[in-house]
A and B are shown apart, each in its own frame.
Chain A
Amino acid sequence: MSVKQKIIGINGDEAAAYALKQCKVDLLSAYPITPQTIIVEKFSEYVANGEVETEFVTVESEHSAMSVCIGGAAAGGRVCTATASAGLALMHEMVFVAASHRLPIVMTVANRALSGPINIHPDHSDSMAERDSSWIQLYAENPQEVYDTVIQAFKIAEDPTVQLPCMVMFDGFIVSHTLQNVSVLPDNIVDKFVGRRRIPKINVMGREIEYKLDVKNPLTMGPLALFDYYFEHKRQQEEAIRNAKQVICEINDEFAKISGRKYGDGLLQPYGHEDAELAIICLGSTAGTARTVVDEYRTKGIKVKVIRLKAFRPFPASELKNALKNLKLVAVLDRSGGYGAIGGPVFNEIRSILYDCKERPRIVNYIYGLGGRDVTPKLIKKVYEDLEDILKTGKVEENVKFLGVR
């Protein structure tokens, strides 16, 4: 049974900050960047008011912010940061170092387009550029889900079978700056749910010690590993992120028990008619817009579906295969380009998994919403109309289309 919750009017950034406060992070280091800034502003208020015991480290760049986080997590702390767009790009080198050091850092990313032209509005080009960093990547749809996902993120990242950092993404402005009534759990319930950070034991020179920097049990982190060992470490990372899939599902269920809120199986959130032949797959806030269109179609007796992909890394391949098996046509909506590739990154992954399926839907791609180009119900309807045409004629004119471009 879920516990009694308080409802407060906050935006996505504030929801992230509130969750970070309740997770009792030991260290936060970040550099301000729109549209993430409110997270750190709000958190600095908690620090100034003495509401948290967090070490708040201001830095001169995001590269340093992530470096500080790596140091803090290596010392055994629960650590977080927040960024967006160019800030995430500037972190890029250290993003990989954090993951390869197997440090369960949580990073909230208010998705924003990468320059150029310079733009502050949402698309997924920033986080998609980090998709092969071996960070867990979870896309939240609204402020409520940001709050819920940040809390879950620590538990997923710190799981003994995972031990990888986790990014929580949400669309800049659309989610980061939009107020919603957010149900928040009592502090003690979150504290009990997340617990303290568990540090794995490792065997170093014949001794079982905690994997953290400790003068009493010295160890060397981040040494050289050339052709003789680098590959083995990377294989370990792959195993860890595969393990994360089951952990995400379990924690989604566990969180539902205390909060009453559940996001599909934790990886995918399908919505619409069970017997639908047509579906849209998308990430983030667009799913909400698509759902209103699905509802409108339902009243007209047209069976369509929207599947929101919450977890992009690890990629829920088997779950998606299952979700897509009875569909005839699927449109994948990508809010980032795949310049020189055949479509966007989500399309590529999904088309790849369908190759193994005997019976598979036809699949088309729409690149949309770049640089914050508005995504209206009308635009989503255009996609369903296209799908209906393809179903009727059996012809696909273009596999990859640009939706809403002039």
Chain B
Amino acid sequence: MSEKQVKPGWKSIPIGGVCWKSSEEYSTGDWRSNRPILDSDKCTNCLICYIYCPDSCISWDGEKITINYDYCKGCGICATECPVTAIEMVKE
């Protein structure tokens, strides 16, 4: 996950609570309290985690899966659904 940035104060944000940047820049991953850790030796590339991830944070490049910690909120569905227990939830 990206480094914590100093957030702007009330004088430097636009009025009305309008979205002034893309949601891509809003790292919802900092809500997470438990981080999924993948053991690639155990992983069979079955892609069940890829299908189940509600935040589309697991991607598949044709060879291996990766987890995007910028947006993963640590729900743990991937770890629960993994049939070979290749994903472990670790406290942040």
Residues of A that sit less than 8 Å from B by CB:
100-103, 163, 200, 202-205, 211, 219-223, 225, 228-229, 231-233, 235-236, 239-240
Per the bound structure, the CA–CA distance linking A219 and B15 in Å amounts to 12
Per the bound structure, the CA–CA distance linking A202 and B16 in Å amounts to 10
Question: Does B15 lie within 8 Å of A163, measured CB to CB?
Answer: yes
Question: Does B20 lie within 8 Å of A101, measured CB to CB?
Answer: no
* A239 CB contacts on chain B under 8 angstroms: 10
Question: Does A211 lie within 8 Å of B19, measured CB to CB?
Answer: no
* A204 CB contacts on chain B under 8 angstroms: 14, 18-21
Residue of B nearest to A204 (CB): B20
Question: Does B20 lie within 8 Å of A233, measured CB to CB?
Answer: no
A228-B7, A236-B10 given as contacts; is B22 within 8 A of A100 (CB)?
no
Residue of B nearest to A206 (CB): B21
B9 at the interface (CB under 8 A from A): yes
* B17 CB contacts on chain A under 8 angstroms: 100-101, 221-223, 225, 229, 233
Per the bound structure, the CA–CA distance linking A148 and B15 in Å amounts to 29
Q: Give the distance to chain A from B17, nearest Cβ to Cβ, in Å.
A: 5
Q: Give the distance to chain A from B52, nearest Cβ to Cβ, in Å.
A: 24
| Interface SS of A by simple majority | loop
A205-B20, A205-B21 given as contacts; is B15 within 8 A of A232 (CB)?
no
| Interface SS of B by simple majority | loop
A205-B21, A205-B22 given as contacts; is B15 within 8 A of A236 (CB)?
yes
B13 at the interface (CB under 8 A from A): yes
Per the bound structure, the CA–CA distance linking A203 and B19 in Å amounts to 10
Question: Does B10 lie within 8 Å of A233, measured CB to CB?
Answer: yes
Per the bound structure, the CA–CA distance linking A233 and B9 in Å amounts to 9
* B14 CB contacts on chain A under 8 angstroms: 202-204, 211
Q: Give the distance to chain B from A201, nearest Cβ to Cβ, in Å.
A: 9
Residue of A nearest to B22 (CB): A205
* A220 CB contacts on chain B under 8 angstroms: 18-19
Question: Does B10 lie within 8 Å of A235, measured CB to CB?
Answer: yes
Given A205-B22, A229-B17, 17 more A-B residue pairs with CB atoms under 8 Å apart are A100-B16, A163-B15, A202-B14, A202-B15, A202-B16, A203-B14, A204-B21, A211-B16, A219-B18, A221-B18, A222-B17, A223-B18, A229-B13, A231-B10, A232-B10, A233-B13, A235-B10
Q: Give the distance to chain B from A14, nearest Cβ to Cβ, in Å.
A: 34
* A235 CB contacts on chain B under 8 angstroms: 10
Residue of B nearest to A224 (CB): B17
A-B contact pairs, 27 of them (CB 8 A): A100-B16, A101-B16, A202-B14, A202-B15, A202-B18, A202-B20, A203-B14, A204-B20, A205-B20, A205-B21, A211-B15, A219-B19, A220-B19, A221-B17, A221-B18, A222-B17, A223-B17, A225-B17, A228-B7, A229-B7, A229-B13, A229-B17, A231-B10, A232-B10, A236-B10, A236-B15, A239-B10
